[in-house]
Structure 1
Amino acid sequence: MKVAFLGTGLMGLPMAQRLLAANIEVVAYNRTPEKLAPLQAAGAEVVTHPRYAIRDAECVILMLTNAAAIYHVLLSDTSWRTLAGRTIIQMGTITPTQSQEIRDSVVGGGGEYMEAPVLGSIPEAKAGELKVMVGAKPEQYQRYLDLLKNFDPEPVLIGPVGTASALKLALNQLIASLTTSFALSLAFVQRQGVDVDLFMQVLRDSALYAPTFDKKLSRMLADDYSQPNFPTKHLLKDTDLFISEAQSLGLDLSTIETVQKILQTAMKMSFANDDYSSLFSVIKDWGEMSGG
């Protein structure tokens, strides 16, 4: 099987490298050509236009920033004409509605479509330990299960197209909300003079603990948000997607809308390309920013 990989950014690069390590032929395209150099050095074929990648492969993996990028790269007139007989596996984070609309366009071009968004960041992508959630027909899931196992030992079929995208947004909402809540508690105990090590000791021994707290603790304490596995701008994007999709479901969104405002403030504080744990700086410096 020859796989076209469109989108080789923070997550796409290590994922494509795993395919090459498994001796799978990869033809890669990225809108920023310089990002293809590591893949080319590892044996991938690189191309200057997505239609060349699509034309030469039976399966196309998308790891692109958003739905707009997918439309630009995959569904422009020249690329859309090459979709017949190809299976598109969309692995980025978009809304269920967007995923279903893209599916309809792909099917209209004679191709097949399935979604397989992932939970995890760069370390998990490098190790092949992402959580892959599949939205597809059962026969599609079975056909591409071995391919997806390069990213996750046990990819899970969630349901038809749209269900995996919905689950991914629900989980990313938890990333944003849990991190915000932890940052608030951390700032509170610091201001109250509680020893942080004791705070974490009690927290770790409780049912309230989530491993993500320890993953972000050192960054927050050091005010060091460099070299992100998941930038603030991407978490804000996913939070915006969650809110836009949830608005029609009759849910109270007041808590996540507050998190959205904190992420927006982090962006204004120039943390866009830093790790999303930067929202700790927003929370602990809120009084200074608001004139309090």
Structure 2
Amino acid sequence: MLHMEKERIAFIGTGVMGASIIKHLLENGHEVSVYTRTKEKAEPLMALGATWASSPAEAFKNKEIAFTMVGYPADVEEVYFGDNGLFQTAESGNTVIDMTTSEPTLAKKISDHAQRLGVEALDAPVSGGDIGAQNGTLSIMVGGSRDTFNKVLPVMNHFGENIVYQGEAGAGQHAKMCNQIVIASGMIGVCESLAYGLKAGLDLSTVLQSISSGAAGSWSLSNLAPRMIKNDYAPGFYIKHFVKDMKIALDESTKMGITLPGLALAYEMYEKLIEEGYGENGTQALLKAYK
């Protein structure tokens, strides 16, 4: 295939992140076929030129690349291996790229199966939230073959900024776990800082002015603390999905024989928020644990 041509792309999952990524692909002249469980969710994208398919298999027909970004490992399994999954219509020379934060072992399973079909596979989970997806500045952690990584890099450049090859299949998912572990304990720090500042009678926006750019600075402090101050708990990233990620990281760390008490505490606190009905809120709703 000549590089002058735009790759034809299937995109499975049009959630908060997926929808923004699809817009970047369309803006850059790619033909994009989308599948999502509820067609209505895809309508704004269809208005921009995407075509809707009735299944992942259907979406991938006559396409070169399939991106998947769904909720849980079980969804990933279904999207690839199900009766109407991508592997039903994948052809030799195609590439499949899973951007769901999922299990490293599942990434390896997808890669092994893809290899048997002559298909290339990458695990490429992302970080940067809804803002990163909208601005096309996502961090992408990639596992799989380096040659495949180099081949699809121009496409990923449409929506990512910090795109790093991490190693063989599963390495992207492991790197994403490192990312989620930092965020988990970091969110506790952000919330405790705000709770303390509030109790001390400080103006929290003024506090942020001082601490966001100092040694305490973090993405969560800059992007989520202002939302917390406004009681804005709209999801850039759902608590229910974050809990899923933390569970994967805890399971993997158990397999590797290491103990992560900070992660375990964050997991417990977020689990409690889900029990209290906050699963559909953004991760910044951890502040509610301190009210």
User: Is the shorter-chain TM-score for this pair beyond 0.5, marking a shared fold?
Assistant: yes
Which residue, out of 244, 260, 268, partners 1:253?
Answer: 260
Which residue, out of 103, 117, 121, partners 1:95?
Answer: 103
Amino acid at match of 2:13: G
Query: Could you say which residue in structure 2 is the equivalent of 1:217?
Result: 225
Which residue, out of 82, 85, 96, partners 2:89?
Answer: 82
Instruction: Report the CA distance shift for 1:211/1:64 in structure 2 as closer, same or farther (over 3 A).
Output: closer
Amino acid at match of 2:265: T
Are 1:244 and 2:244 counterparts? no
Are 1:51 and 2:63 counterparts? no
Distance (whole Å) between structure 1 residues aligned to residue 49 and residue 190 of structure 2 = 43
**Mapping for residues 69-218 of structure 1, pairs under 5 Å:** 69-79=75-85, 80-85=87-92, 86-196=94-204, 199-204=207-212, 206-218=214-226
Instruction: Report the CA distance shift for 1:33/1:154 in structure 2 as closer, same or farther (over 3 A).
Output: same
Partner of 1:144, secondary structure, is: helix
Distance (whole Å) between structure 2 residues aligned to residue 106 and residue 197 of structure 1 = 50
Distance (whole Å) between structure 2 residues aligned to residue 205 and residue 122 of structure 1 = 22
Amino acid at match of 1:191: K
Are 1:266 and 2:260 counterparts? no
Question: What runs of 5+ residues in structure 1 fail to find an aligned partner?
Answer: 286-292
Distance (whole Å) between structure 1 residues aligned to residue 206 and residue 48 of structure 2 = 47
Partner of 2:32, secondary structure, is: strand
Amino acid at match of 2:252: E
Instruction: Report the CA distance shift for 1:57/1:254 in structure 2 as closer, same or farther (over 3 A).
Output: same
How far residue 54 of structure 1 moved from its aligned partner, in angstroms, is 1.5
Partner of 1:8, secondary structure, is: coil
In 1, are the aligned partners of 2:205 and 2:226 still within 8 Å (CA)?
A: no
Question: What runs of 5+ residues in structure 2 fail to find an aligned partner?
Answer: 1-6
TM-score, normalization by structure 2: 0.90
Deviations 1:159-194 (A, max 9, x none): 111111111111112112101112112212333445
Partner of 2:10, secondary structure, is: strand
Deviations 1:7-61 (A, max 9, x none): 1111111101111000111111111211111121111121112111112211111
Q: How many equivalent pairs are there? A: 283
Deviations 1:93-119 (A, max 9, x none): 012122112222333344221121111
How far residue 77 of structure 1 moved from its aligned partner, in angstroms, is 3.4
In 1, are the aligned partners of 2:211 and 2:217 still within 8 Å (CA)?
A: yes
Q: CA RMSD in A?
A: 1.8
In 1, are the aligned partners of 2:102 and 2:173 still within 8 Å (CA)?
A: yes
Query: Could you say which residue in structure 1 is the equivalent of 2:44?
Result: 38
Distance (whole Å) between structure 1 residues aligned to residue 231 and residue 84 of structure 2 = 46
How far residue 122 of structure 1 moved from its aligned partner, in angstroms, is 1.6
Instruction: Report the CA distance shift for 1:195/1:42 in structure 2 as closer, same or farther (over 3 A).
Output: closer
TM-score, normalization by structure 1: 0.90
Query: Could you say which residue in structure 1 is the equivalent of 2:27?
Result: 21
Distance (whole Å) between structure 2 residues aligned to residue 180 and residue 25 of structure 1 = 42
Identity in percent: 28
